[in-house]
Amino acid sequence: MKQKTGLGHYIYIVWDYFYSNIVTLVKVASHTFTKADTVEYPEQMPYLAPRFRGRIVLTRDPTGEERCVACNLCASACPTDCISLQKTEDESGRWSAEYFRINFSRCVFCGMCEEACPTYAIQLTQDFELAEYERQNMVYEKQHLLIDGPGKHPDYSFYELSGKAVSGRAKGAGTQEAEPVNLKSLLP
């Protein structure tokens, strides 16, 4: 390419420099007369889109039981690896989380966990007010995450469909399940 070295070129560079600065100043100054984008939080709450993703909760199924079955899918889907949990099982064979921990200082609120969850247990809410003075306080345990209601998908109950027998639901009592096979029957 041919190198431009003439006087005209230098004038152009100087003009270009001043021009962009002047434009910037004018634009900034003109904002003095427009409506402010910021709101006076916290007196005034901002608008949140319906699918805004904030603080994560663990929900309960329609009967009030913990929905999370400790399958670990959310943890494996999480790009920041900030979820960890341990499975435990009650007498009846129902799986649940012995502990469930989210390190919100790492969470990027991407919602991958919610997407991966097969039981609708883990859900992102609209709460974004997670500021803390101590970073350690950003680590939430199960008791901090668990809420009382079902959140989204209020009617879904995983164990209703799973085929596993758990307390209150015998084998074959779930949706779309046949009575347990009677092995001693010779009927066709």
Partner 1 sequence: MNATIDNLVTIYIDGSAYQVKAGGHLLEACLGLAQDLPYFCWHPALGSVGSCRQCAVQLYQDAEDQRGRMVMACMTPVAEGMRVSLSAPMASEFRQQCIEVTMANHPHDCPVCEEGGECHLQDMTLQSGHTQRRHKGHKKTYHNQDLGPCVGHEMNRCISCYRCVRFYQDYAGGDDLVVLGSRENVYFGRHQDGCLTSHFSGNLSEVCPTGVFYDKVVSDSYTRKWDLQSAPSICSHCSLGCNLSVGERQGQVKRVTNRYHSQVNGYFICDKGRYGFAHSNSDQRLYQAQVQPLGDTEKVSCDTLHGLDYVAQIMTELGAENVFGLGSPRASVEENFALQSLVGKANFYAGHNAAQGVIQTQVLHQLTQPNIYTPSLKQIEQADAIVIIGEDLLHTAPRMALSVRQASRNLGFAKAAAIGIPKWQDEPVRIHTQNQLSPVISVTSAATDLDDISSQCIHLAPSDMCNFAGALASAVEGQFDGSGLSAELNEQVQHSLALLAGAKRPLVISGASSQSPELIDLAAQLALALGRQSGSEAWLSYALEAANSMGLGLLNKDAKHMDDLALRLQQQTTPSALIVLQTDLFSLSTQAQALCENLRHLVVLDQLPSATSEHADVVIACASVFETEGTYVNNEGRAQRFFSVHDKLGRPDAWRSLTHLATMVTQAGHRSDTITQLASCTKFDDLCDLVSQQGGEFAHWCDVAPSAGFRIAGMKVPRQTHRASGRTSLYADENVSEAKQPEDVDSALGFTMEGTPINKPSALIPQVWSPGWNSNEAINKFQQEINGPLKGGEAGVRLLDTSPSLPLAEVAVIPSITLGAGQILAHTQNHLFASDRVSSLSSALKQRNTAISARLHPDTAAIMGLVDGDEVCVALAQTQWLLPLTVDASVAVDLLLLPNQYQAPISAGHLPAAVSLSAVTQEVN
Q: Which residues lie near ligand SF4 (CB under 6 A)?
A: 56, 68-74, 77-80, 82-83, 85, 102, 107-113, 116-117, 119, 121-122
Phi, psi of 122 (to 5 degrees): -90, 125
The listed partner (ligand SF4, partner 1, none) that binds 110, CB under 5 to 8 Å by sort, is ligand SF4
CA distance 114 to 119: 9
The listed partner (ligand SF4, partner 1, none) that binds 111, CB under 5 to 8 Å by sort, is ligand SF4
CA distance 188 to 186: 6
The candidate with the shortest Cα–Cα distance to 56, out of 15, 115, 2, is 115
The candidate with the shortest Cα–Cα distance to 162, out of 115, 100, 59, 93, is 93
- 27 vs 150, beta carbon nearer partner 1: 150
Q: Which tokens sit at 182?
A: 């009677």
- 109 vs 156, beta carbon nearer ligand SF4: 109
Beta carbons within 8 Å of 148's beta carbon, 6+ residues apart: 60, 64
- Strand pairing class (139-140; 95-103): antiparallel
Strand boundaries in 5-142, DSSP class E: 56-58, 83-89, 95-103, 122-124, 139-140
Binding mask 138-167 for partner 1 (x = CB under 8 A): xx-x----------------x--xxxxx--
Least distance to partner 1 from the beta carbon of 39, Å?
31
Residue pointed to by tokens 């995983």: 158
The listed partner (partner 1, ligand SF4, none) that binds 164, CB under 5 to 8 Å by sort, is partner 1
- 29 vs 181, beta carbon nearer partner 1: 181
State the residues that interact with partner 1 by CB under 8 A.
Answer: 69-73, 75-76, 78, 80-87, 89, 95, 101-103, 105-106, 118-119, 135-136, 138-139, 141, 158, 161-165, 171-172, 176-181, 183, 185-186, 188
